[in-house]
C-alpha cells in the first residue's frame, strides 16, 4: 500500500491497532479511500479531468483538501463509482461505510475537521440475497473429485470448508498448535478468536494429511497447510485448489467459490442438523444473528412441511 498520504496512513493504523480490524478490512478501506482521493483530485481540477484514475498519485492529499469536502462531493463520488466503475449496491455500501468511518475519525477522534460531511450520507439499499450453496450430493461429488500429488492436503482443506464453514482467511491461518483434541481455535473477522469443533470427518482428514505433511525445510513450521514451496499456503493457492476441484466435479466455477463452501456448510448444518440459529451464529462467527438469518430462508422442504402441518390444511370446500 504505497502512494499513501500520512493522514490516510494514520487512519488505517488506528482502525487496525485500536479498532482491531483485520488486514483484509484495512486493505478494503485503503482501496476505497484511495479511489475517493483520486476522484477528488479530478473533481477539484487538481489534475486534468481526462487523467486515467489509476494513474493519479494521492500522496499529496492533506487535511486542507479534506476540509473542503462536503456532502455533495460524497454523493458525486458514489454516483461516479456507480456509473463509471459499475459498482453494485453492495460495493457502494462498503464505500459509504469507509467514508463515514474516515470522516468520523477526522472529526471526533483527531479533531482535524470542524464538521463531518458524511454524517447525512446514506447507504444504498442492498437487496437481501439468498446464499449460493452446493446440495448434499454436489458436496459429496466435490470431495470425491479430490486427487493428485497433494490429495491428503487438498481433501483436508475441502473437508474443513464443507464441515466447519470456515472463512478463507481463517483456513490459511490455521496453526498446528491450535488444534487440541476435537477443537480448533481460529482468528476470525476483527481479530476475534473463536473455537471450532471438529467432527470425525475433519479429524480423520487432518490426521491423514499430517502423516504426509512436509517436515523439512518449512518456512513456517506452525502452519497447518503447506504449499508446494514449503510456505504457509496462500489465499490465492487455496482459491485455485477449490476452483480446480469444482471443475473436476462438473460444477460451475463461475457460480461456486471458497466462500460458497462456507455457505454450503451453514446450509447443510441448518437443513440436516436441526441447528439452532444462535448456535449457527456462533459456529460461523457472525457478530449479529441478522447475518445468520439468511440461512433460515433456504429450506423449501421445511416450509412445505410447516404449511402442511397446519391442522386446517385437511379441511376442503364441500
Active-site residues: which are they? 167, 189, 259, 262, 286, 295
Q: Edge to edge, what strands does the sheet with 193-197 contain?
A: 179-180, 183-187, 193-197
Q: What distance, in Å, lies between the first and last C-alpha atoms of the chain?
A: 74
Report how far residue 35's alpha carbon sits from residue 285's, in angstroms, rounded to the nearest whole number: 30
Among residues 283, 306, 303, which one has the least CA distance to residue 130? 303
- CB atoms under 10 Å from CB of 28, counted, come to 16
CA distances to 17, 245, 255 from 240, in Å: 31, 9, 14
Q: Counting every residue, how long is the chain? A: 318
CA distances to 23, 146, 299 from 247, in Å: 30, 11, 26
Report how far residue 134's alpha carbon sits from residue 262's, in angstroms, rounded to the nearest whole number: 10
Amino acid at each position: 500500500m504505497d502512494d499513501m498520504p500520512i493522514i490516510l496512513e494514520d487512519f488505517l493504523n488506528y482502525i487496525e491497532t485500536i479498532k482491531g480490524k483485520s488486514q483484509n478490512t484495512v486493505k478494503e478501506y485503503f482501496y476505497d479511500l484511495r479511489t475517493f482521493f483520486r476522484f477528488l483530485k479530478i473533481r477539484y481540477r487538481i489534475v486534468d479531468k481526462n487523467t486515467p484514475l489509476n494513474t493519479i498519485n494521492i500522496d499529496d492529499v492533506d487535511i486542507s483538501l479534506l476540509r473542503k469536502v462536503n456532502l455533495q462531493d460524497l454523493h458525486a463520488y458514489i454516483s461516479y463509482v456507480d456509473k463509471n466503475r459499475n459498482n453494485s449496491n453492495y460495493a457502494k455500501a462498503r464505500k459509504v461505510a469507509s467514508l463515514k468511518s474516515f470522516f468520523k475519525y477526522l472529526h471526533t477522534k483527531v479533531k482535524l475537521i470542524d464538521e463531518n460531511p458524511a454524517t447525512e450520507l446514506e447507504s444504498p439499499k442492498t437487496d437481501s440475497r439468498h446464499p449460493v450453496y452446493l446440495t448434499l450430493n454436489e458436496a459429496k461429488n466435490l470431495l470425491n473429485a479430490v486427487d493428485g500429488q497433494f490429495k491428503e492436503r487438498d481433501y483436508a482443506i475441502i473437508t474443513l470448508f464443507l464441515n466447519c464453514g470456515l472463512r478463507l482467511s481463517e483456513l490459511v491461518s490455521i496453526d498446528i498448535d491450535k488444534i487440541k483434541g476435537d477443537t480448533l481455535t481460529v482468528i476470525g473477522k476483527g481479530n476475534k478468536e473463536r473455537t471450532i469443533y471438529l467432527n470425525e470427518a475433519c479429524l480423520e482428514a487432518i490426521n491423514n494429511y499430517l502423516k504426509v505433511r512436509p517436515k523439512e525445510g518449512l518456512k513456517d513450521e506452525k502452519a497447518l497447510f503447506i504449499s508446494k514451496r514449503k510456505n504457509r499456503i496462500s489465499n490465492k493457492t487455496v482459491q485455485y485448489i477449490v476452483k480446480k476441484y469444482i471443475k473436476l466435479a462438473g460444477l460451475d466455477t463461475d457460480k461456486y467459490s471458497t466462500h460458497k463452501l462456507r455457505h454450503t456448510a451453514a446450509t447443510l448444518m441448518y437443513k440436516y442438523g436441526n441447528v439452532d440459529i444462535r448456535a449457527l451464529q456462533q459456529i460461523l462467527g457472525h457478530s449479529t444473528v441478522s447475518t445468520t438469518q439468511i440461512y433460515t430462508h433456504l429450506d423449501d422442504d421445511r416450509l412445505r412441511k410447516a404449511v402442511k402441518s397446519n391442522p386446517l390444511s385437511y379441511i376442503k370446500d364441500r
